[in-house]
Amino acid sequence: MYRYNEFDEAFVRSRVAQFRGQVERRIDGSLTEDEFRPLRLMNGLYLQLHAYMLRVAIPYGTLRVDQMRRLADIAERWDRGYGHFTTRQNIQFNWPRLKDVPDILDALADVGMHAIQTSGNCVRNVTADHFAAAAADEIADPRPIAELLREWSTDHPEFQFLPRKFKIAITGSPNDRAVTKAHDIGLRMVRNEAGEPGFEVLVGGGLGRTPMLAQVIRDFLPQADLLPYIEAILGAYNLKGRRDNKYKARIKITVFENGLDAFKADVEERFARLRSQWSGADQEVLKEIEAQFVPPAFRNVPVDEFEAFRAGNAVFRAWADTNLHPHKVDGYAIVSISLKKHGDTPGDATAHQMRVMADLAERYGHGELRVSHEQNIILPHVHKSDLPAVWASLREADLATANIGLVSDIIACPGMDYCALATARSIPIAQQIAMRFEEMQVEHEVGPLKIKISGCINACGHHHVGHIGILGLDRAGVENYQVTLGGDGTETAAIGEKMGPGFPAEEIVGAVERLVLGYLEIRRDAEETFLETFRRVGPEPFKGFLYGTEETADAA
Amino acid sequence: MSRRFTPKVVSANHLLEGDAVWLTEDDRWTRDMAEAELIEDEAHAAIRLLFAKGQPGVVVGAELVDASAGAGGPVPTHFREAFRTHGPTNYHHGKRAEGLTPRGKIPGNETLSNV
């Protein structure tokens, strides 16, 4: 995995020292809040409802053991003993005190981490497939490219004051687990007919108040052209993007208002000009980065014990059936650790749990952890013979919930419980839905179903791409929850369709229950997923389940 | 015609801790909304807000927020403000963990009674 070189180290340390001085000057009154605010945001420090919040970048969702342990230390020493993993593969600490933040940033720098560009109108943390370098369906590991983008975009002088924030996601697999179509730029690694590596480049996706799916701006971009092409896109956006209206400032609006063709023409013209200025130094850097992403020394030992244990232990089997994914290497599995225990806060892990996961990664996982945008933790490389031991340790730490991809594996933003922008709560709704389905014991029967909850229109909880999306709003001083159906964040991406009137907090769980039970009634067979059924029958039967306005018996 | 003025309190976040604070009649910043000054006059509200904004070394984001007279002091009229007196609902952290009595109504949380 990537380790900082001298330049990274010096840059991050100098940034911490600068921020330490800025905090001191804010506290002694030399800086006003108006002066300080952009400085703290550049370093990931927000002011929320009850406290400051520090958002720490986890580039492309990859963590080393020492880094996870350090996050645990920070949670314990400077926060309230836990951290919140987010849909952008970051971690947020909800309770830091202003004067402690420079020390926290120094502690992060010790393990090659930072909070730079986790806020502000700049290129944010580059996210990637959380199964990168492990997935059986992968063409290539996207993380070296993500690291190249991180280095290039960090403190990039031209792109520190874009019209609005800018999010890039990359996947190396045709099965899109990185929601690339909902990003400002989505990159899909592909090969051309000659077998050369390159990218399908998507632009102008985003959720928020104006959800849009990204469009293909280049169907094949050679790998060596990536940075000049991204520079051309950002350059075009930097000039054309609207700065007069915050709600129209994202690149999705720029592309929409100018039209893809006109925007593309601008990008291509810039690219033609810029390309010759790139001498190839970036490709040299990429080679150095790639050398740091060597595959681990995979073992080749029998898996008989795993098979025997699986056959003999129903609880383990249930976990293995939902929480394991196929690995590209025989005998290995990708382990998803659910941070969605029924009734708990989605995405939260205690310091103890972080240490347990770090220990497991160290002992059984070739030293690697990942954060998924679905707010779970991944051990990407575990030999199947070690799975019984891994599972036993996870159980002891309350981390063995067998619900990956099921109803209770809910994405939820912090919502009104923490966020200054929220219009309603998300977390309690997620908790109640999970508990309801736990009581009903139908999760496994229901099968793959993604519920995503946002506590405001900004859509941090990705509700637009939830099979069931829930948006919390403030209706005349009361929390109200609007339902969207049929959203999809994968390679078959779709924006969910808004149903009718929203539901008050005490009715939304029942509404979701009716949707799911209704689906069970009308699905073609046990193989047809919720999303497939919705696509087959359309919204009307589901509206019937929600509002009782339809003869549901005829709907199938 | 301008809208009728509704009672307000001055609220902000504390610079160092970041938590919610309210301005008292005797010019202190309190963590307990019960101690806040309930302002019923528009001109006085403007003066109090100016006073609050004149303390950038103590608080951040001072603003007027709606409140009403309740048992033993002002109570929030909107649930967002009630959250600020309560802390998050998923953990026992924040104001109520510090021994302060939450004020106002949080929907679905009817255990709070001082409205």
**Mutate which of B14, B68, B90 to test chain A, going by most A C-beta atoms within 10 A?**
B90
User: Looking up tokens 């963990």, which residue turns up?
Assistant: B97
Domain end point (choices A93, A110, A127): A110
Please say which residue of A356, A372, A396 terminates a domain: A396
Number of domains observed in the structure of chain A: 4
How far is the first Cα of chain B from the last one, in angstroms, to the nearest whole number?
Answer: 31
The whole-number pLDDT of residue A283 equals 96
- Picking from A99, A417, A478, the nearest residue to B107 by CB comes out as A478
- CA A273, A279, A285, A287 dihedral sign is positive
Do A416 and B83 lie within an 8 Å CB cutoff?
Answer: yes
Q: What is the ipTM of this complex?
A: 0.94
Any chain A CB within 8 A of the CB of B77?
Answer: yes
> Looking at beta carbons, which residues of chain A come within 8 Å of B90?
345, 417, 427-428, 431
Task: Summarize the confidence of residues B31-39 as an average pLDDT.
Answer: 98
Closest CA to A207 of A450, A460, A422: A460
A506 to chain B, any CB pair closer than 8 A? The answer is yes
Residue A121 is assigned to a structural domain of this protein: no
* Statement to judge: residues A34 and A174 lie in one domain: no
Residue whose token pair is 């969702």: A61
Nearest CA in chain A to B95: A50
B77: chain A residues, CB-CB within 8 Å: 477
Half-sphere exposure of A495 (CA within 13 A, CB side): 14
Indicate yes or no: CB of B90 within 8 angstroms of CB of A345.
yes
Is residue A402 situated within a structural domain? no
Between β-strands A168-171 and A185-191, what pairing exists: parallel, antiparallel or unpaired? parallel
State the CB neighbour count (10 A cutoff) for residue A98. Answer: 21
A345 in contact with B at a CB cutoff of 8 Å?
yes
User: CB distance from A479 to chain B under 8 Å?
Assistant: yes
Among A97, A416, A504, whose Cβ lies nearest the Cβ of B16? A97
Domain boundary among A290, A312, A347: A290
φ and ψ of A300, to 5 deg:
-125, 90
CA dist A491 and A514 (Å) reads 28
> Residues A38, A149: one domain?
no
The residue of chain B nearest to residue A23, with distances taken between CA atoms, is: B16
Report the SS3 class of residue A87: coil
- What would the two tokens of residue B62 be? 């001072």
**Cβ pairs A/B, distance under 8 A:** 79
pLDDT at B112: 45
A271 and A388 fall within a common domain: no
* A284 and A147 fall within a common domain: yes
User: Which residues from A are below 8 Å from B88, CB to CB?
Assistant: 50, 94, 417-418, 427
Is there a contact between B107 and A505 if contact means CB atoms under 8 Å apart?
yes
B49 and chain A in contact, CB less than 8 A: no
Same domain, A187 and A277: yes
Are the beta carbons of A29 and B84 separated by less than 8 Å?
no
Q: Does B110 touch chain A (CB under 8 A)?
A: no
Answer whether B15 sits within 8 Å of A417, measured CB to CB: no
A520 within 8 A of A442, measured Cβ to Cβ: yes
Same domain, A388 and A472: no
Identify the CA nearest to A85 among candidates A542, A401, A432, A411. Answer: A411
What average pLDDT does the segment B30-39 reach? 98
- Asked if residue A546 is part of any domain, the answer here is yes
- Chain A residue numbers with beta carbons less than 8 Å from the beta carbon of B82 are none
Considering the domain architecture, whether residues A384 and A416 belong to the same structural domain is answered as no
> What is the Cα–Cα distance from A426 to A382, expressed in whole angstroms?
33
CB atoms within 10 A of CB A427: 27
Distances A129 to A88, A177, A218 between C-alpha atoms, Å? 11, 5, 21
- DSSP structural state of residue A47: E
In a domain, A314, yes or no: yes
Phi–psi pair at A70, nearest 5 degrees: -70, -35
Chain A residue with CA closest to B57: the answer is: A29
Q: Which residue is closest to A430 within chain B, CA to CA?
A: B90
pLDDT at B1 over 60: no
Q: Which residue in the set A50, A345, A431 is minimally distant from B20, CB to CB? A: A50
- CATH number of the domain residue A416 falls in: 3.30.413.10
pLDDT of residue A206: 97
Check residue A443 and give left, alpha or beta (phi > 0: left; psi -120 to 50: alpha).
alpha
Residue A476 touches partner B, C-beta closer than 8 Å: no
Same domain assignment for residues A426 and A450: yes
| Pairwise CB contact (< 8 Å): B94 & A26 | no
Residues A286, A308, single domain; the answer is no
Q: A311 and A285 share a domain?
A: no
Q: pTM of the prediction?
A: 0.96
A275/A326 same-domain check: no
Q: Please choose, from the candidates A291, A364, A387, the residue with its C-alpha nearest in 3D space to the C-alpha of residue A65.
A: A364
Expressed as residue numbers, the domain containing A391 is: 304-396
**Between chains, do A479 and B78 touch, taking CB under 8 Å as contact?**
no
Cβ separation A50–B94 shorter than 8 A = yes
Cα-based torsion angle of the residue sequence A440, A409, B80, A475 in order, rounded to the nearest 10 degrees: -70
A52 and B18: CB-CB below 8 Å? yes
Q: A62: domain CATH number?
A: 3.90.480.20
| CB spacing of A428 vs B78 below 8 angstroms | no
In terms of domains, do A348 and A426 share one? no
Is A545 part of any domain? yes
Q: Is residue A116 part of a domain?
A: no
Q: Is A145 helix (H, G, I), strand (E, B) or coil?
A: helix
How does pLDDT run along chain A (556 residues), one tens digit per residue? 889 999 999 999 999 999 999 999 999 999 999 999 999 999 999 999 999 999 999 999 999 999 999 999 999 999 999 999 999 999 999 999 999 999 999 999 999 999 999 999 999 999 999 999 999 999 999 999 999 999 999 999 999 999 999 999 999 999 999 999 999 999 999 999 999 999 999 999 999 999 999 999 999 999 999 999 999 999 999 999 999 999 999 999 999 999 999 999 999 999 999 999 999 999 999 999 999 999 999 999 999 999 999 999 999 999 999 999 999 999 999 999 999 999 999 999 999 999 999 999 999 999 999 999 999 999 999 999 999 999 999 999 999 999 999 999 999 999 999 999 999 999 999 999 999 999 999 999 999 999 999 999 999 999 999 999 999 999 998 999 999 999 999 999 999 999 999 999 999 999 999 999 999 999 999 999 999 999 999 999 999 999 996 444 444 3
CB contact under 8 A, A47 and B18: yes
Q: Which of A51, A417, A506 is facing B89, going by the closest CB pair?
A: A417
| Closest in B16, B84, B108 to A505, CB measured | B108
Q: What's the pLDDT band for B110 if we cut at 50, 70, 90? A: low
Strands (E) in A435-514, as ranges, are 451-454, 468-475, 478-485, 497-498, 503-504
